Amino acid sequence: MLYDLIIIGGGPAGITAGIYAVRQKLNTLLITKSFGGQVARKAVAIENYPGFEAISGLELIQKFEKQLRKQKVDIERDLVVKIKKIGKKFIVFTESKQQFQSKAVIVASGADPRPLEVLGEKKFIGRGVSYCTVCDQALFGDKTVAVIGGGNAGFEAAIALANYAKKIYILEYAPKVGADQINQERVKKTGKVEVITNAALKQIKGNQFVNSIIYQDRKTKKNITFPLEGVFVEIGSIPATGFVKGLVDFNEKDEIKINPRNNQTKTPGLFAAGDVTEVKQKQIVIAAGEGAKAVLAAYDYLQKQK
């Protein structure tokens, strides 16, 4: 069977793509190991997806999935491990040794924030540990928080958090921070941020919620404990793109480069949407919009192939 379109990924971009694809009468297969991507793992309420004043990530993604399943779309619960293009045809290989063929492909496999891999991190996700400042900053009004990572992302997180939090620590593992000078100046201007270098985070502690962290001062080798309410992890992300190497170009963050007007990658017929791409803003509503854009562009591409 030759599909018109295979969509890889079950987060907001992939599901929206699926809804739009079927409405464009594209014979569509969506392949995903699970639905929801990062959204389903968010424990705090989402308040910035238009249409819902406050909704849990899981609930929102269940609504998305239900809406998708009302359409005539094939769904495979599997993990894509490789894509090949032979002539004008794509062959998609999965972990469980299945093969699927299509005329066009949308990669919407998302990205995972790079975890700290320290004690307590997993336990307190959504209970003080956050991987998304824009999403969660408003919860930390007048609280003390740490941002882990002294690059631009960490400094920008600290600047944003300064609108809410009482005190912010930036912890950087290296002897020097990597953020641009301008971000360093802006952080200074907030008057609320303290930068600690040579800091190796060891543990996140708490009861119901985070109440402290332990880090090692790498110069003195001493372990230091201090109380705080939030830990923002800003040490990069890992786009799920291994299976598509060779067919697309990547930026310096391993994100897929696209033409921002039509989500086309460097391989004709191969599109990408959402957090897996270089689109800077990682937000549910933006990923959903990008999924719709990618389908409408894929539709145009398929029309031209006829």
x/- contact string, 81-110, with its own copies (CB under 8 A)? Answer: ------------------------------
Residue 241 carries which side chain, given as an amino acid letter?
T
Answer for which of 2, 34, 70, 253 binds its own copies (CB under 8 A) is: 70
> Count of residues binding its own copies (CB under 8 A)?
50
Q: Name the nearest CA neighbour of 161 among 182, 135, 123, 195.
A: 135
Q: Where are the beta strands (DSSP E) in the chain?
A: 2-8, 28-31, 74-76, 80-86, 89-94, 99-107, 111-113, 129-130, 144-148, 167-171, 193-196, 199-206, 210-217, 223-227, 230-233, 237-239, 270-272
Calpha distance 273→239 (Å, rounded): 12
Calpha distance 76→258 (Å, rounded): 26
The answer to whether 202 and 179 have CB atoms below 8 angstroms apart is: no
Alpha-carbon torsion 71, 72, 77, 80, what sign? negative
Binding region for its own copies (CB under 8 A) out of 80-88, 166-174, 218-226, 274-282 = 274-282
Answer for which of 24, 144, 197, 211 binds its own copies (CB under 8 A) is: 24
The tokens 């309420």 sit on which residue?
A: 45
Residues in 124-163 at the binding interface with its own copies, rule: CB under 8 A: 134, 137-138, 159-160, 163
Calpha distance 264→23 (Å, rounded): 20
- 35 belongs to the binding site for its own copies (CB under 8 A): no
- 27 belongs to the binding site for its own copies (CB under 8 A): no
The tokens 């040794």 sit on which residue?
A: 97
> What is the phi-psi region of residue 276: left when phi exceeds 0, alpha when psi lies from -120 to 50, beta otherwise?
alpha
- 72 belongs to the binding site for its own copies (CB under 8 A): no
x/- contact string, 170-199, with its own copies (CB under 8 A)? Answer: ------------x---x--x----------
97 vs 280, beta carbon nearer its own copies: 280
- 250 belongs to the binding site for its own copies (CB under 8 A): no
Binding region for its own copies (CB under 8 A) out of 72-80, 146-154, 224-232, 290-298 = 290-298
- 261 belongs to the binding site for its own copies (CB under 8 A): yes
- 49 belongs to the binding site for its own copies (CB under 8 A): yes
- 277 belongs to the binding site for its own copies (CB under 8 A): no
Taking the CA atoms of the chain, what radius of gyration do you get in angstroms?
Answer: 21
Binding region for its own copies (CB under 8 A) out of 104-112, 144-152, 205-213, 279-287 = 279-287
Cα–Cα distances (Å) from 180 to 30, 150, 198, 202, in that order, read 41, 10, 18, 26
Q: Rounded to the nearest whole angstrom, what is the least distance from the CB of residue 184 to its own copies in the complex?
A: 13
- 67 belongs to the binding site for its own copies (CB under 8 A): yes
116 vs 159, beta carbon nearer its own copies: 159
Residues at the contact surface with its own copies, assessed by CB under 8 A: 12, 15-16, 19-20, 23-25, 47-53, 60, 63-64, 66-67, 70, 134, 137-138, 159-160, 163-164, 182, 186, 189, 260-262, 279-281, 283, 285-290, 292-293, 296, 303-304, 306
